[in-house]
Amino acid sequence: MINKLNQFASELKETYPFYQTFCKEKQLHSKPIDFFQLPVIDKQWMKQHYDQFLHPTMEASYVSYTSGSTGTPFKCIKSAEEHMKLSLAIFKQRRKWGLPIKHNKLVLSNRLLSGENSLLHYANKMAKDKPHMIQGRASSLVAFASYIQKHQLSIPPQLTFVQNRGEAYTMQQKKFLEHVFNVPFMDYYGLEELWGIAFTNDHEELEVDMDSVFVEVVHPDTLQSLPPGEYGEVLVTSFIMKSLPFVRYRTGDIGKLVLKNNKVILQLLPVRTSQITLPEKQFHASIFRYLDRFFYELSLESMQQYQILQKAPDDFQFSYIGDRQIDEERIYSKLQSFLKQYLGTPVKLTIARVEQLVSDEHSGKVHFFRSLIDEKGGKES
C-alpha cells in the first residue's frame, strides 16, 4: 500500500497545479515524494482553489453538488470513466448481499419522511416497482417502515436488503427495520464527492473498500496521524477520482480504524467536527468521542434515535425518540458530568423525549450534535 500511495503522490506532483506549487514551495519538486508529506485538504480549501485541482485534460461528464449541510455546497465533477468505476465498486459490494445483476431499487428522499402524502408515494412505488433493495437515511427508512407496519402493507418478496446511507443509526433502528422488512440491514459510508468508502461486511462491520480508497485518522486539532484504535477525524483518499482528486480529504466524521485479517474496519461515532460554542472559545464536538462506550450502550437500549442540541453557551438538551423506560437519570448524570469536565464550566442540561429530532434544513440529515447558537448567528454548524 505504501508504494501505491507514493506512486499516486508522484502522479499528483506531475499533473495538478496545486500539488506542483506545493512541492516547489516545500522544495520537493526534484525529490521522490512521500504520500504523507502531502497536505490535509478540506472542502473549503478545495473550493477556494478549485481550478488548481482540476485535471488539465480530463473531461467531466457528470456534475452534482453536496448538500451544503456545513454551509459549504461543493461542485462535484466526474468523468464518464470515473462514474462507471465508482458505480461498479458500489455494485460489487451490493452483490455480496445478493443483489441481482438486473434489479430495481427504491431510493427514499433525503428529507425526513413525515408527511402522509410522501409516505404514500413511496408505498405506491414499492408496490409498483417491486424493488430488490431500498436505500435511504436511517430516519427515513424508519419512518417508511412505521408507515408500512401501520397500514399492514406487503413487502416485495424479491427484496434482498435495506441500506442506510449518510446518517448514524442505532441498534434499535436496525432491529426494527429488519423486523418490518424481514431482510438484512446494510450500512454504506460514502461521500457525494467520491462515493463509496466502506460497506457492511459479513460480520456487520464497516469494511473499507481498499481497492477504491485509502482511509486514515488524524487528530482533529493537530491533523497528526493517529494509530489504529484511536479516535480522530477521518481522512479519505480516492484512487479512482482523477478529474478532481480527493487526497487526504477531511470528511468531518469521527472514527477509528481497526485492522482485522488484512481488512481495515472503520468504526464511526455519530459525531462530526462541528463546534461547541462558549462565550470566549470553541470546542470541536469531537470531544464526544470519549463517550464512545456510553453511546454504544445507548444504542442497545430501547432508544430509536438521539441528538444533543446546544441552545445557549451553557444550555444543552439531549433529545431522544423512544419509549418511557429509558433511564433518563443515568443519561443526565453522565452527560452533565462529561460536559462540565471538558468544557470547564457548569452547564444546564435537560433530557427530552420527542416525536421528531431536528433535521438539517439543507441535507435532511439528523446530526448527532447541533449548535443552535451557530445557526442563529449565521455561522457554520
Domain boundaries, the chain: 40-90+189-270, 98-183, 274-376
From first to last of its 381 residues, the chain has per-residue pLDDT tens of: 899 999 999 999 999 999 999 999 998 877 889 999 999 999 888 988 999 999 999 999 998 877 555 455 688 999 999 999 999 999 999 999 999 999 999 999 766 555 688 899 999 999 999 999 999 988 889 889 999 999 999 999 999 999 998 777 888 889 999 999 999 999 999 998 999 999 999 999 999 999 999 999 998 888 999 999 998 889 999 999 999 999 999 998 889 999 999 999 999 887 655 678 787 777 766 677 677 677 767 766 667 778 889 888 889 999 988 776 788 888 899 899 888 888 888 889 999 998 888 876 655 667 778 888 754 443 332
Give every strand in the sheet of 369-371, ordered side by side.
348-353, 315-322, 303-312, 369-371
What pLDDT shows up at residue 370?
Answer: 81
DSSP class of 43:
H
Alpha helices in the chain (DSSP H): 2-15, 17-25, 43-48, 50-53, 80-95, 116-129, 138-150, 171-181, 292-300, 328-343, 372-376
What pLDDT shows up at residue 103?
Answer: 96
Burial label, 219 (beta-carbon count in 10 A; 0-12, 13-18, 19+): middle
Neighbours of 359 (CB within 10 A): 22
Q: What angle do CA 312, 250, 50 make, to 5 degrees?
A: 110
Q: What angle do CA 326, 286, 196 make, to 5 degrees?
A: 95
What pLDDT shows up at residue 381?
Answer: 29
Q: What is the distance between the terminal CA atoms of the chain, rounded to a whole angstrom?
A: 36
Q: What angle do CA 361, 364, 366 make, to 5 degrees?
A: 100
Q: At what angle do helices 292-300 and 171-181 cross, to 10 degrees?
A: 30
Answer whether CATH 3.30.300 is correct for domain 274-376: yes
- For residue 224, how many C-alpha atoms fall within 13 Å in the half-sphere facing its CB? 3
Burial label, 71 (beta-carbon count in 10 A; 0-12, 13-18, 19+): middle
Burial label, 132 (beta-carbon count in 10 A; 0-12, 13-18, 19+): buried
What pLDDT shows up at residue 38?
Answer: 96
Non-local CB neighbours of 339 within 8 Å, separated by 6+ positions: 316, 347, 349
Dihedrals phi, psi of 323, to nearest 5 degrees: -85, 180
Residues paired with residue 348 on neighbouring β-strands, in sequence order: 315
What pLDDT shows up at residue 359?
Answer: 74
Q: What angle do CA 124, 355, 187 make, to 5 degrees?
A: 60
Dihedrals phi, psi of 207, to nearest 5 degrees: -100, 130
Q: Is the pTM of this model over 0.85?
A: no
What pLDDT shows up at residue 345?
Answer: 83
Non-local CB neighbours of 152 within 8 Å, separated by 6+ positions: none
DSSP class of 221:
T
